[in-house]
Amino acid sequence: MSSDVRFTDFKSDKQPTWCPGCGDFGTMNGMMKALANTGNSPDDTFVVAGIGCSGKIGTYMRSYALHGVHGRALPVGTGVKLANPDLEVMVAGGDGDGYSIGAGHFVHAVRRNVDMTYVVMDNRIYGLTKGQFSPTSREDFETSTSPEGTKQTPVNPLALAHAAGGSFIAQSFSSDAMRHTEIVEAAIEHDGFSLVNVFSPCVTFNDVDTYDYFRDSLVDLGDEDVDHDPTDPEQAKAVITDRETEYMGVLYQDEDSVPYGERMGIDEPMTDIPDGAPENATDLVREFY
């Protein structure tokens, strides 16, 4: 950890190829600022990315990074954190990557409560594959694959996380730079698995869930005139399951959360591998071959 790190230290020399105006720019900048503000450095940070527009983020951030396969970023992040607890692990993905093919991994990563942060860039559409509907698209959202609407109830990722026993559930908006950074900071500092679902508008294929829509609709749970205690399970459940209002802020946090690694007694890196084969390895191989 270092107090001398600036968020620009996390910028790589690769220029993003996202569409001009893409919400992922703001999402990534907030992640870098939050990492620097919490005392992390590129040398102690590992970013795991999935597939989709968001999957490029590991190229644009200077840190250890791995670009995984579709829906499998969370298992990789879990392995990295358990192998080296000293690393700050951030997993980045999109709503299609995380809540469709990756939904099974998402639920189990939440319940294991491994100490890492999962930032999901939720634009409610498949952007990289040219505008098909995603798991979080509205029921009446018209796309090339849903010309008459999806006719499906959108996935509520916050409710999935809550039902799986999530210990930190939050939502932010990529355009609100300061608030987004604050929320990601809180996620990083939480002991356990942290979900930050980020409204990150797609300016090319989604003309419904726009910057203007979120600016007009979002209710910030951190505002002084909003009465919300994120440590109260009943209040958290009420806002998480509310499909009428779009919320921003920390919806739920278990302050008594104990991360998986601590429960399992994993407190040292497993990076020192002894020379030679493990004891009895030859006998084990002969047993099966």
Q: What share of the chain in percent tops pLDDT 90?
A: 84
Pick the CATH number of 7-286 from 3.90.1150.10, 2.70.98.20, 3.40.50.970, 3.40.190.10: 3.40.50.970
pLDDT digits (tens, 9 = 90+) for 40-50: 999 999 999 98
In the predicted structure, residue 279 carries a pLDDT above the cut 80: no
Instruction: Take residue 179 and report the two structure tokens written for it.
Output: 């608030």
In the predicted structure, residue 118 carries a pLDDT above the cut 80: yes
DSSP string, 131-193: SB--TTS-TT--BTTBTT---SPPP-HHHHHHHTT-SEEEEEETT-HHHHHHHHHHHHHSSS-
Query: Mean pLDDT across the chain, nearest whole number?
Result: 94
Q: Domain coordinates of the chain in residue numbers? A: 7-286
User: Which residues does 217 contact at the CB level (< 8 Å), separation at least 6?
Assistant: 245, 246
pTM: 0.93
In the predicted structure, residue 170 carries a pLDDT above the cut 60: yes
* Nearest-5° Cα angle at 203, 201 to 205: 100
Give 52 or 120, the one with higher predicted confidence: 120
pLDDT at res. 272: 74
pLDDT digits (tens, 9 = 90+) for 201-241: 999 999 999 999 999 999 999 998 999 999 999 999 999 99
Local confidence band at 1 (pLDDT 50, 70, 90 cut-offs): low
Local confidence band at 70 (pLDDT 50, 70, 90 cut-offs): confident
**Average pLDDT over every residue of 136-154:** 94
In the predicted structure, residue 278 carries a pLDDT above the cut 80: no
pLDDT at res. 284: 78
pLDDT at res. 286: 83
168: nearest Cα among 46, 250, 279, 54: 250
Q: Annotate 88-130 with three-state secondary structure.
A: EEEEEEEHHHHHHHCHHHHHHHHHHCCCCEEEEEECCCECCCC
In the predicted structure, residue 98 carries a pLDDT above the cut 80: yes
**Average pLDDT over every residue of 91-108:** 95
pLDDT digits (tens, 9 = 90+) for 187-199: 999 999 999 999 9
